[in-house]
Amino acid sequence: MGHQEDEIDLMALIRTIWRGKWLIILFAALAVFMGGYYVYRIAVPVYTTTATVALDPQQQNVTDLTSVISGLSGDQATINTEVEVIRSRGLMEKLVAKLDLTKDPEFNSRLRAKNPYAPKPFIKRLLGLQKPEITPSNRAILDATIDQVLRAISVSNKRQSYVFNITATTTSPTKSALMANTLADLYILDQLDVKFQATQQATKWLSERVGELKTKLETAVTKVKNFNSQAELVSPEGFAALQRQVKETRDRIKNADDELTQEQARLDALATALAANDIEKIVALADDRNLSRLLTMLKSGDVDRETFDVAVQTLVRRAKLDHARAASQTSALKTSITKLESQIKRQSSDLVQLQQLQQEAAASQTIYDYFLKRLKETTVQQGIQKADSRILSRAVVPSVASAPRKSLVLALSMMLGLFAGAGLVLFREMMQSGFRTAEELELSTGYTVMGQIPKMPVTRRVDTLSYLVDKPTSSAAESVRNLRTSVLLSDMDHPPQVIMFTSSMPGEAKTTGSLALAHNLAGLGKKVLLVEGDIRRRTFSKYFDIKGKYGILSVISGKAKLEEAIHRDSALGFDVLIGEKSSTNAADVFSSEKFHAFLSDMRAAYDYVVIDTPPVLVVPDARVIAQSVDAVLYSVKWDSTPKNQVLQGLRMFETVNRKVTGLVLAQIDPKGLKRYGYGGKYGGYYGYYAKGYYDN
């Protein structure tokens, strides 16, 4: 179901656009005319040309020298930077100066001829709001010219490449090529200039630095010489010999200390043995063969004790002398090593200081040599600088204008006109509040349209019946006949006898429809009664010249007989029963048994009864009367009655379990149909195929 509704909406959209085709074509033609006028009369042709520059990240180093400024890397950041360098105001200022563009009216707006009748300045002059013109400075003129040049120049990078496109667009083909090529040349020269200036600055700085380093080197060398002359330094071999002598002396001192300790221990043991008069131990400690022999002789009695004691004392004195000699020798060795260590310490300090001075001198020499080498390299590079980019192709003078593209502008203008026209048609359709075709009315309500009645060419309501009588073959009369046929055939088993006409609001042709239907039914030779059920407004007085004082209320109440209240006119062919004003509520009257009895009497007295009822959205009378009639006709005024009011009115009948028999699309304007693109489409195939059947 949803897919079907989408198709219906699409077809309705297509039909709406088709109906407004002439308006759409008019808009398209107007847009094409305006586009053509702009292209051929207003637009100034401009010419575009492009110079191509390539970045060369892998340049050959012919001198094998390290450059002051390294070449460009070629990564995306570098490429984007170079694009901005080409578009920089500094480079554009050089371009302006090179080509003297401040004297070109295309880029210096002050040189252009001014239109005194231009809207903005003209209005300001009239209102006295124009300020006195201030002459700008040369810098301001230059900046404004650069701004205009920036708008005429575009720089782009081809994806996945080192290639830049420098594009210039001006009103002159020669100027475009000249600007693109000049900017490319200036870009290459700018790279060389940057490198030359950097090398020049580096050379100057290196020259100053080499001079400073040379002075520092000379100072360091002088310090080394002065220190060598002032310090009593031995050679490294002599210093090593001193260190060996110190080691040997330390070894001798250690041996002497050991010997002295042994001698002291021996003396102490001898003293202990002497004190104990232990001659055996004395002989053992003395370790002397002569004393051992004397001990043997003493034991054998060959010598006396005195002789033995003299020998022991002699041995003790000799031991003390040995101990004193060893102590003196140890002291001498210690004094000697103290002197040697002091000498080594002094020599070490001097050598360390000398090494520091020599290292400083060597470092100064290394730095001086490096900077001197870089100075020579930089001096050589000043004359062999090479740009990081090169021109691949120079811009050529274009032979065809790049804009305006006439065919494209005309095509876009036509498309814009078509869209604008279609938009206006759809907007007009969207803003439409009423119905214009029976198909549209049936689709929105779900009810059958039984008649489509055109607007009759009369100025007064009273002339409506006269027109139908005088023009029996008119389209209006034929439409009423079609309505009559549809109503009578709506129920073949029980053809309707009592028919009511209603509408949503007043002024929607329900009364006119009632009159026309009654007149047409009477044309069948039937006895017809037209009843004014809208007793609140009593509009029949505008259609008929009725002088009687009785009406429908008098008949219903029994105050007057039907014959006394009915208006008969042989020219009409049907009877008319007008309404009356009453203090009684109209809805109460039409829901009473007397009204039902009245209708029963009318069914017996007449072949057809047509009742003109009040609008359903204003008062409840129509819904009350609908309960007693055979057919309910709902009048919808063409392109006027709002859709929501029609739907609301139909729902009002459904709330009382009474469905409308059919709809009548009234007051159709044939010219309006044509204006909206429906042609003569009403009442089936009116307006074209029916020309030979009735008069319009």
Structural element, H or E, at residue 189: helix 173-230
What was the pLDDT predicted at 117?
52
- Per-residue pLDDT reduced to its tens digit, 315-357: 777 777 877 877 887 888 778 778 777 767 766 676 777 778 7
Cα–Cα distances in Å, from 591 out to 288, 550, 582? 176, 21, 15
Report CA torsion sign: 437, 440, 445, 446.
Answer: positive
What was the pLDDT predicted at 61?
46
Confidence at 142, pLDDT banded by 50, 70, 90:
very high
Whole-prediction pTM: 0.51
Q: Is the pLDDT of residue 688 over 70?
A: no
Minimum mean pLDDT range among 280-289, 432-441, 660-669, 677-686: 677-686
Q: Is the pLDDT of residue 15 over 80?
A: no
Q: Which two tokens stand for residue 85?
A: 């360098």
Q: Is the pLDDT of residue 234 over 70?
A: no
What was the pLDDT predicted at 315?
74
Q: How many CB atoms lie within 10 A of CB 77?
A: 8
Minimum mean pLDDT range among 72-81, 184-193, 213-222: 72-81
Q: How many CB atoms lie within 10 A of CB 140?
A: 11
Cα–Cα distance, 426 to 655 (Å, whole number): 35
What was the pLDDT predicted at 690?
47
Minimum mean pLDDT range among 99-103, 347-351, 422-426: 347-351
- Per-residue pLDDT reduced to its tens digit, 450-490: 999 998 888 887 788 788 888 888 888 899 999 999 999 99
Cα–Cα distance, 568 to 498 (Å, whole number): 19
Cα–Cα distance, 508 to 618 (Å, whole number): 13
Cα–Cα distance, 642 to 646 (Å, whole number): 7
What was the pLDDT predicted at 227?
74
Considering the chain, what is the average pLDDT of its residues? 82
What was the pLDDT predicted at 542?
79
Using alpha carbons, select from 216, 210, 218, 190 the residue that is nearest to residue 379: 210
For every residue of 511-537, DSSP letters joined together read HHHHHHHHHHHHTTT--EEEEE--TTT
Confidence at 609, pLDDT banded by 50, 70, 90:
very high
Q: Is the pLDDT of residue 373 over 80?
A: yes
Q: Which two tokens stand for residue 656?
A: 């009382």
Determine phi and psi for 239, rounding to 5 degrees: -65, -35
**Which sequence spans correspond to the domains of the chain?**
1-42+416-431, 236-381, 440-543+580-588+604-692
Q: Which two tokens stand for residue 99?
A: 């080509």
Select the more confidently predicted residue: 577 or 291: 577
Confidence at 238, pLDDT banded by 50, 70, 90:
low
Average pLDDT over residues 592-619: 94
Average pLDDT over residues 377-405: 81
Whether the CB-CB separation of 528 and 607 falls below 8 Å is answered with yes
Interaxial angle between packed helices 21-37 and 406-431, expressed in degrees from 0 to 180 and rounded to the nearest 10: 150
Cα–Cα distance, 369 to 385 (Å, whole number): 24
Average pLDDT over residues 513-518: 93
Select the more confidently predicted residue: 529 or 39: 529
Confidence at 69, pLDDT banded by 50, 70, 90:
very low
What was the pLDDT predicted at 608?
97
The shares of helix, strand and coil residues in the chain, as percent rounded to the nearest 5, are 60, 10, 30
What was the pLDDT predicted at 250?
78
Cα–Cα distance, 497 to 519 (Å, whole number): 15
Q: Is the pLDDT of residue 402 over 80?
A: yes
Average pLDDT over residues 146-157: 94
Minimum mean pLDDT range among 158-167, 227-236, 416-425, 516-525: 227-236
Confidence at 172, pLDDT banded by 50, 70, 90:
very high
**Strand, coil or helix: 454:** strand
Cα–Cα distance, 72 to 59 (Å, whole number): 10
What was the pLDDT predicted at 498?
97
Q: Is the pLDDT of residue 678 over 80?
A: no
Buried b (16+ CB within 10 A) or exposed e, 220-239: bbebbeebeeeeeeeeeeeb
Supply angle C-alpha 310, 312, 318, rounded to 5.
Answer: 105
Minimum mean pLDDT range among 19-28, 359-368, 381-390: 381-390
Q: Is the pLDDT of residue 568 over 70?
A: yes
Select the more confidently predicted residue: 416 or 581: 416
CATH 3.40.630.10 fits domain 440-543+580-588+604-692:
no
Supply angle C-alpha 334, 336, 342, rounded to 5.
Answer: 100
Cα–Cα distance, 7 to 28 (Å, whole number): 27
Confidence at 125, pLDDT banded by 50, 70, 90:
low
Average pLDDT over residues 73-94: 87
What was the pLDDT predicted at 632?
97
What was the pLDDT predicted at 321?
80
Select the more confidently predicted residue: 618 or 685: 618
Select the more confidently predicted residue: 413 or 274: 413
For every residue of 258-319, DSSP letters joined together read HHHHHHHHHHHHHHHHHHHT-HHHHHHHHT-HHHHHHHHHHHHTSS-HHHHHHHHHHHHHHH
Q: Is the pLDDT of residue 524 over 80?
A: yes
Pairing verdict, β 389-393 and 47-55: antiparallel
State which amino acid sits at residue 523.
Answer: G
What was the pLDDT predicted at 131?
64
Residue 412 class from Cβ within 10 Å (0-12 exposed, 13-18 middle, 19+ buried)? middle
- Per-residue pLDDT reduced to its tens digit, 251-290: 888 887 777 787 777 777 777 777 777 777 777 766 667 7
Cα–Cα distance, 309 to 586 (Å, whole number): 182
